[in-house]
Amino acid sequence: MTAHGPASPLTARRAGPLAGIAHVPGDKSVSHRALILGALSVGETRVTGLLEGQDVLDTAAAMRAFGAEVERLAPGEWRVHGVGVGGFAEPENVIDCGNSGTGVRLIMGAMATTPISACFTGDASLRSRPMGRVTEPLALFGARAQGRAGGRLPLVLTGASDPVPVSYRLPVPSAQVKSAVLLAGLNAPGVTEVIEREPTRDHTERMLRGFGARVEIERDGPDRIIRLTGRPELTGQTIAAPRDPSSAAFPVCAALIVEGSDVLVPGVCLNPTRAGLYETLREMGADLVFENPREEGGEPVADLRARFSTLRGVETPPERAPAMIDEYPILSVVAAFAEGRTVMRGVRELRVKESDRIDAMARGLEACGVTVEEDEDTLIVHGMGPGGVPGGATCASRLDHRIAMSFLCLGMASRRPVTVDDAGPVATSFPGFRALMQSLGAAFEERAA
Residue 236: closest CA among 23, 10, 37 = 37
Active site residue 359: no
Is 8 assigned to a binding site? no
Active-site option among 58, 326, 400, 422: 326
Q: At what angle do helices 28-39 and 101-111 cross, to 10 degrees?
A: 20
Pick the closer one to ligand S3P by CB: 328 or 337: 328
Pick the closer one to ligand S3P by CB: 152 or 382: 152
Euclidean distance between CA atoms 83 and 155, whole angstroms: 24
Is 178 assigned to a binding site? no
Euclidean distance between CA atoms 57 and 43, whole angstroms: 21
Q: Is 35 exposed, middle or buried (0-12, 13-18, 19+ CB in 10 A)?
A: buried
Residue 438 beta carbon to ligand S3P: minimum distance, rounded to whole angstroms: 25
Q: Which of 176, 280, 309, 397 binds ligand S3P (CB under 6 A)?
A: 176
Single out the segment in contact with ligand S3P by CB under 6 A; choices: 91-99, 170-178, 217-225, 384-392: 170-178
Residue 27: closest CA among 4, 55, 3, 1 = 55
Distances in whole angstroms, Cα of residue 298 to Cα of each of 37, 203, 229, 319: 16, 10, 22, 25
Hey, which residues does 168 pair with through a beta bridge? 194
Q: Is 219 exposed, middle or buried (0-12, 13-18, 19+ CB in 10 A)?
A: exposed
Is 260 assigned to a binding site? no
Q: Does 271 bind ligand S3P (CB under 6 A)?
A: no
Euclidean distance between CA atoms 105 and 442, whole angstroms: 36
Euclidean distance between CA atoms 151 and 130, whole angstroms: 6
Residue 122 beta carbon to ligand S3P: minimum distance, rounded to whole angstroms: 14
Euclidean distance between CA atoms 160 and 287, whole angstroms: 52
Count of residues binding ligand S3P (CB under 6 A)?
Answer: 10
Is 363 assigned to a binding site? no
Q: Which of 11, 29, 114, 187 binds ligand S3P (CB under 6 A)?
A: 29
Residue 15 beta carbon to ligand S3P: minimum distance, rounded to whole angstroms: 30
Is 353 assigned to a binding site? yes
Q: Is 171 exposed, middle or buried (0-12, 13-18, 19+ CB in 10 A)?
A: exposed
Q: Does 54 bind ligand S3P (CB under 6 A)?
A: no
Residue 378 beta carbon to ligand S3P: minimum distance, rounded to whole angstroms: 18
Q: Does 114 bind ligand S3P (CB under 6 A)?
A: no
Q: Which of 201, 243, 274, 357 binds ligand S3P (CB under 6 A)?
A: 201
Q: Which of 102, 114, 273, 428 binds ligand S3P (CB under 6 A)?
A: 102
Pick the closer one to ligand S3P by CB: 114 or 246: 246
Pick the closer one to ligand S3P by CB: 58 or 326: 326
Q: Which of 69, 296, 349, 374 binds ligand S3P (CB under 6 A)?
A: 349
Euclidean distance between CA atoms 106 and 112, whole angstroms: 10
Is 357 assigned to a binding site? yes
Q: Does 174 bind ligand S3P (CB under 6 A)?
A: yes
Contacts of 129 (CB under 8 A, 6+ apart): 101, 152, 153, 352, 353, 354
Euclidean distance between CA atoms 203 and 214, whole angstroms: 15
Site for ligand S3P in 301-340 (CB under 6 A): 325-326
Are 256 and 265 in contact, with CB atoms under 8 Å apart? no
Pick the closer one to ligand S3P by CB: 349 or 377: 349
Binding residues: 28-29, 33, 101, 129, 174, 176, 326, 353, 357, 402
Binding residues for phosphoenolpyruvate: 28, 101, 129, 176, 357, 402
Binding residues for 3-phosphoshikimate: 28-29, 33, 174, 176, 326, 353
Name the residues that contact ligand S3P, by CB under 6 A: 29, 102, 174-176, 179, 201, 325-326, 349
Supply the residues annotated as catalytic: 326
